[in-house]
Structure 1
C-alpha cells in the first residue's frame, strides 16, 4: 500500500512520476531540481537561443532546490527534520562543490541526514543540481 503526493506549489515533474510516494513510514521523493513552480524558469540560469547553458549561479540553484524539497515534504505532511537520506547530483563537482557544500551545511546542520554527492554529465533540463531524498515519517498509533 502506498500513497502518492504531488504539490501544486512545486515545479511540475518533467516526466510521468509523482513528487513523492509514501510506503509505510518512508517518504521517497522523486528527483527535485531548482525550477520555479508554475514555469520553466531556473534561478540563475542564462540560456542561448538553442537552450544551451551560457552561465548559471549554483548558489541560486541550491537555495531553490532546497526550497522545492521543503515544499514537497510539506505537501506530504513531512518537514526538513524528517529527511534521513539525500543523494545530490551535480553537473560540475570541480567548480560547484564548495559552494553547494557551504549552502548544504546551512540547511542541514540540525538533522544531518546521510548524504551522497555524485557528479553527472547532464540532467534532463538545463540545471546544475538535483536532489533525491528519503524521509522517515513518525509512526502513528491507533491506540
Structure 2
C-alpha cells in the first residue's frame, strides 16, 4: 500500500481551518496590532438591500426666479438714482466705489450735483471761515 493516500478525518480539516483563523498572541505590546480576521462570505440566501439616493432639489417657484433675475434699477430714472446716491456719506471714496458698478452708475457718480457738496465742503467752506 505504498502510493495510496489515507483519507483525513474531518477533525483534521477543521483544525487546519481554525489554525488559519486564529491569530498568534502579540508578545510585544508596542508592535503593530494583528490584522483583522478575514471576512466571511455572504450566503446566496442573504438579501442585500440597496439604498438609492437622489440629489436634493428645493421647490422652485417660477415667479420667484423671475423676480430674482429681474433688474430693478433699470426702470428707475436717472434723477431718482441721483437722489438716492445723494444720501451716501459725503466722501469721495463712496462715490468712487459706486462708479465701477456699471456704465450708467459711472455716469451718475460723475454728476456735478453729487460732487458739488463735496467741493463746497472741501474748498469753499474752509475759506469762508
Larger radius of gyration: 2
Q: Taking CA–CA contacts closer than 8 Å with sequence separation of 6 or more, which of the two structures ends up with the larger relative contact order?
A: 1
Q: TM-score range by the shorter chain?
A: under 0.3
Question: TM-score of the superposition, structure 2-length normalised?
Answer: 0.24
More strand by share: 1
